[in-house]
Amino acid sequence: MDAGSINSSSSLKAQSRFPLQQQFLPRMNSKENLDRFIPNRSAMDMDYAHFMLTEGRKGKENPAVNSPSREAYRKQLAESLNMNRTRILAFKNKPPAPVELMPQDHSHHHHQPKTAKPRRHIPQTSERTLDAPDLVDDFYLNLLDWGSSNVLAIALGSTVYLWDASDGSTSELVTVDDEDGPVTSVNWAPDGRHIAIGLNNSHIQLWDSASNRQLRTLKGGHRSRVGSLAWNNHILTTGGMDGQIINNDVRIRSHIVETYRGHTQEVCGLKWSASGQQLASGGNDNLIHIWDRSTALSNSATQWLHRLEDHTSAVKALAWCPFQGNLLASGGGGGDRSIKFWNTHTGACLNSIDTGSQVCSLLWNKNERELLSSHGFTQNQLTVWKYPSMVKMAELTGHTSRVLYMAQSPDGCTVATAAGDETLRFWNVFGVPEVAAKAAPKANPEPFSHLNRLR
């Protein structure tokens, strides 16, 4: 199931199979690390050596023939001729240190592969499962978002609910009139306090969640439902079924400041890069556009920077890489089933993999080089990929219908998913980094317990 663990295991076996050759027996030069030392013959006195081996020991062997005067003469002659030496072979060069082919203590020096980072355990089941009745089963909408204040917003039919992850409390933010609803998109502003709500009637409402008060309604931009939203500081970008993308400055009365026209069908995916300079949009026309704010002209139809046409089905899933600013991941619908990676500076497609099923949403891990994708038919699974190898690290199942919506907690550890089976699930898919070691208070396991259950 986990292809990554299989590949990792075989790699370790391959590394440990021949440890002595890799670490202790490197290939040696023929002139180095030899097993004996040959002295430097130019430093030898061969005549003296011959004398000492033949004549030099006669006196010691026959001490009776040596008189005192003869011995004194011999010593004086030896000093004059520098013959007072005891070593015959002269080693002028220091011999090299011996090569230790085997460690002295094999038990302590046993070769092991370079210590690898232990594989992070990924729980195969969700931490909790909550009912989400009346969740609209529509691929083109965006009904779930997790704000920087650790509050999760979810649209169920015509009502937006807020769940505070810090204490598990649940509140109803707004229920729109039937002629205006249902809610078709929700998106938190960067401050985690204000939230934008897109409606089926083409309007966008702005709410202050702290005071539970509506601030304003943005009208006049779109001609039909607003299914995608994306904040860039004080600019709220909206995408509609009419194919238009509009930048709204929420600080001013005449809020429409730029209009991007390039899609011919509904815009279902919108994501600003971390720098706020580039906008990626995906549509039901199978296209991705990259828009650059530096080329935008106020109150005019702005030309795209890149038009990416490689997908063969609707593109809703878009995710900017947190560790490489110009890297964008995109996922195609049921007729495409692929995840593609793009260099948004050049417009080049860097890689493409076939996932085998509809790609509904994508999220990058903020702490590791990993990507999470959610899918539709046939398994309705979540898949964790290692980037850039795109090896599957885990496949998580539990939903019984396509996993349309995903949102990531502010610390990057937990992912919430909502599916057509009208359930909301929380997954500890990205682990707990050291910086996030302080545990939040225990959340209410049933934040939507006050809702009428359908089951």
Kindly report the three-state secondary structure assignment for every residue of 120-153: CCCCCCCCEEEECCCCCCCCCCECEEECCCCEEE
CA distance 255 to 238: 12
CA distance 96 to 100: 12
User: Are 332 and 312 contacting, i.e. CB atoms less than 8 angstroms apart?
Assistant: yes
DSSP class of 435: G
Q: What is the CA radius of gyration of the chain?
A: 38
The tens digit of pLDDT for each residue in 247-301 reads 999 999 999 999 999 999 999 999 999 999 999 999 999 999 999 988 765 445 6
The three-class DSSP label of residue 106 is coil
Instruction: Note the residue count of the chain.
Output: 455
| Strand intervals (E) in 358-421 | 359-364, 370-375, 382-386, 391-396, 405-408, 415-418
| Cα–Cα nearest to 233, from 282, 279, 190 | 190
In order along its 455 residues, the chain shows pLDDT tens digits of 333 333 433 333 333 323 222 323 344 444 444 444 455 565 566 666 666 666 655 554 455 555 677 777 777 766 666 655 555 555 556 666 666 555 555 444 455 555 666 778 899 999 988 899 999 999 999 999 999 999 999 999 999 999 999 988 889 999 999 999 999 999 999 999 999 999 999 999 999 999 999 999 999 999 999 999 999 999 999 999 999 999 999 999 999 999 999 999 999 999 999 999 999 999 999 999 999 988 765 445 678 999 999 999 999 999 999 999 999 999 999 999 999 999 999 999 999 999 999 999 999 999 999 999 999 988 999 999 999 999 999 999 999 999 999 999 999 999 999 999 999 999 999 987 654 444 444 444 333 344 333 33
CA distance 87 to 67: 26
CA distance 6 to 222: 51
| Cα–Cα nearest to 198, from 224, 163, 167 | 224
CA distance 316 to 407: 14
Distances in Å between the alpha carbon of 414 and those of 14, 363, 406?
Answer: 35, 11, 10
DSSP of 29-94, one letter per residue?
-TTSS-SS----GGG--HHHHHHHHHTTTHHHH-GGG--HHHHHHHHHHHHHTT-----SS---SP
Largest CA distance in the chain: 138
Query: Strand 405-408 relative to strand 391-396: parallel, antiparallel, unpaired?
Result: unpaired
User: Are 428 and 134 contacting, i.e. CB atoms less than 8 angstroms apart?
Assistant: no
CA distance 126 to 399: 10
This prediction has a pTM of 0.71
Supply 230's token pair: 């994306």
DSSP of 145-195, one letter per residue?
EE-TTSEEEEEETTEEEEEETTT--EEEEEE--TTT-SEEEEEE-TTSSEE
CA distance 339 to 318: 10
The tens digit of pLDDT for each residue in 41-85 reads 655 666 666 666 666 555 544 555 556 777 777 777 666 666 555
Q: Is the N-terminal amide bond of 322 cis, ω within 30° of 0?
A: no
| Cα–Cα nearest to 174, from 192, 191, 199 | 199
